[in-house]
Amino acid sequence: DYCFSTQISHLALDIGGTLIKLVYFSPNGDNSQDGSIVVGNGCSVVKGRLCFAKFETRKIDDCLDFIRFNILQHSGVQHPNGTTRDKFPVKATGGGAFKFAELFKEKLGIVFDKEDEMHSLVSGVNFLLKTVPREAFTYLDGQKEFVQIDHNDLYPYLLVNIGSGVSMIKVDGDGKYERISGTSLGGGTFLGLGKLLTKCKSFDELLELSHQGNNRVIDMLVGDIYGGTDYSKIGLSSTAIASSFGKAISDGKELEDYQPEDVARSLLRMISNNIGQIAYLNALRFGLKRIFFGGFFIRGLEYTMDTISVAVHFWSRGEAKAMFLRHEGFLGALGAFTSYKD
Ligand code: ADP
């Protein structure tokens, strides 16, 4: 469900370790695509829609075909002989903007205008929070609540981008930011370990499995150690996880003896919890009260958001807030896109 027009004039790419994200401007794109953003108003010369698409980086040929047939041909910049005419400036960010620059030039005649990755992430979030209504929301106890952000009271905040790896960025203003931390235990770890442990072929399959699983089968809980009671003196309930995957050491079982859905569930819980905790510790380091989580790992998944929110809420004793973004996966691509006006 992509939106097209006869005059696609701008395109930005974020080529990450796992996924390629595209944002393109379509003056007469319709609203058939979920999440597309209307831009321009009555007095603006430029009116249309920002549209989104994503491809797996390992299937980059699909992305090249998409751009060739659905963007370059619609934009009128492609010669009948397949080469790209004059100028079709393409903004690109992420590691792949370097790694695949030659490929895009050779196959599509596109020369990347490269944008810095962290800068793009921050610009993307600021753009969304300032211009797109109902973008940010909290998720706790099954309740999604949209948050109205006051533009004059936006900074400072912590941005936690969960892609293949995780970056934590303290943002103090437009173009004012510092990457203060990160962790290599991110979406790539979930997908990579998940594939090895469950034989799943895709992220969607792994998520689907995790929906049906029960992490208590494999995780060692406080109650397992304390014989079913809480360790109330230090505020740990019997259901708190004492050791992720910890039960697997004691009951002499092999991987095959566990249900793949339970493994997927424990893994999702472990990764989400860990990121929530590291995020909170970094927020604490700099006295930041708001933490925005982005990146394609989240995918609007309730269980993931709930785990992250509970971790932030638990460790900060309710002081810090985890917030999520509707266009979470396209932050870098959107940021690169907004650099057109610089
Ligand atoms: P990167 O820029 O490093 O590729 P992303 O923000 O695109 O990072 O997030 C990539 C992560 O998102 C993957 O590691 C995986 O956990 C998750 N993910 C979500 N949807 C998919 C998908 N369709 N295919 C692969 N990974 C996906």
Q: Is the CB of 299 under 6 A from ligand 1?
A: yes
Q: Per-residue pLDDT averaged across 193-218, rounded?
A: 96
At 231, the pLDDT band (50, 70, 90 cuts) reads: confident
DSSP string, 270-299: HHHHHHHHHHHHHHHHTT--EEEEESTTTT
Q: ∠278-279-281 over CA atoms, to 5°?
A: 65
Residue 84 clears pLDDT 60, i.e. is over it? no
Q: How confident is the model at residue 36 (pLDDT cuts 50, 70, 90)?
A: confident
Where in the chain are the domains?
A: 10-117+331-341, 187-218+258-325
Give the architecture-level CATH label for domain 10-117+331-341. Answer: 2-Layer Sandwich (3.30)
User: Would you say the CB of residue 95 lies under 6 angstroms from ligand 1?
Assistant: no
* DSSP class per residue in 157-199: EEEEEESSSEEEEEEEETTEEEEEEEES-SHHHHHHHHHHHH-
pLDDT tens track for 93-113:
999 999 999 999 999 999 999
| The pLDDT of residue 239 | 84
Judge whether 10-117+331-341 and 187-218+258-325 match in fold.
Answer: yes
Q: Sort strands 157-162 and 290-294 into parallel, antiparallel or unpaired.
A: parallel
- Look at residue 81 in the predicted model and tell me its pLDDT: 54
pLDDT value, residue 42: 42
Report the alpha-carbon distance of residue 85 to residue 78 in Å, rounded. Answer: 5
From atom 27 of ligand 1, which residue's Cα is the shortest distance away? 203
**Structural contact between residues 191 and 202, judged by C-beta atoms closer than 8 angstroms:** no
- Residue 295 in this model has a pLDDT that exceeds 80: yes
CA dist 294 and 215 (Å) reads: 24
Tell me the average pLDDT of the chain. 89
> Which DSSP category does 134 fall into?
T
Mutate which of 19, 59, 60, 198 for ligand 1? The one with the most ligand atoms within 8 Å of its CB, which is 19
DSSP output for 81-122: TSPBPS---EEEESTHHHHTHHHHHHHH---EEE--HHHHHH
Element (H, E) at 209: helix 203-212
Tell the residue nearest (CA) to atom 21 of ligand 1.
Answer: 203
Residue 43's pLDDT is 41
Residue range 205-210: average pLDDT?
96
Question: Best of 297, 298, 301, 305 to mutate for ligand 1, by most ligand atoms within 8 A of CB?
Answer: 297
Q: Answer yes or no: are the C-beta atoms of 301 and 207 closer than 8 Å.
A: yes
Tokens of 159: 């941005």
- State if residue 324 touches ligand 1 by the CB under 6 angstroms criterion: no
pLDDT per position as a tens digit, 185-194: 999 999 999 9
Q: Residue 253 has what pLDDT?
A: 87
CB contact at 8 A, 278 and 162: no
Give the model confidence (pLDDT) of 254-270 as tens digits: 999 999 999 999 999 99
By most ligand atoms within 8 Å of CB, the mutation choice from 164, 198, 270, 303 for ligand 1 is: 164
pLDDT of 150-201, one tens digit each?
989 999 999 999 999 999 999 999 999 999 999 999 999 999 999 999 999 9
**Can you tell me the distance from the alpha carbon of 187 to that of 18, in angstroms, rounded to the nearest whole number?**
9
CATH 3.40.30.10 fits 187-218+258-325, yes or no: no
Structure tokens of 59? 């299937």
Query: What are the structure tokens assigned to 53, written together?
Result: 């698409």
Query: Does the structure's ipTM exceed the value 0.95?
Result: yes
Confidence of residue 40 (pLDDT cuts 50, 70, 90): low
Bridge partners of 34, per DSSP, are none
Q: What is the tens place of the pLDDT at every residue in 304-336?
A: 999 999 999 988 888 888 999 999 999 999 999
pLDDT(210) > 60:
yes
* Phi–psi pair at 162, nearest 5 degrees: -100, 90
Q: What pLDDT score was predicted for residue 341? A: 66
Calculate how far, in angstroms, residue 325's C-alpha sits from the geometric centre of ligand 1. Answer: 16
Tell me the pLDDT band of 205, cut-offs 50, 70 and 90: very high
The tally of CA atoms less than 13 A away on the side-chain side of residue 96 is 24
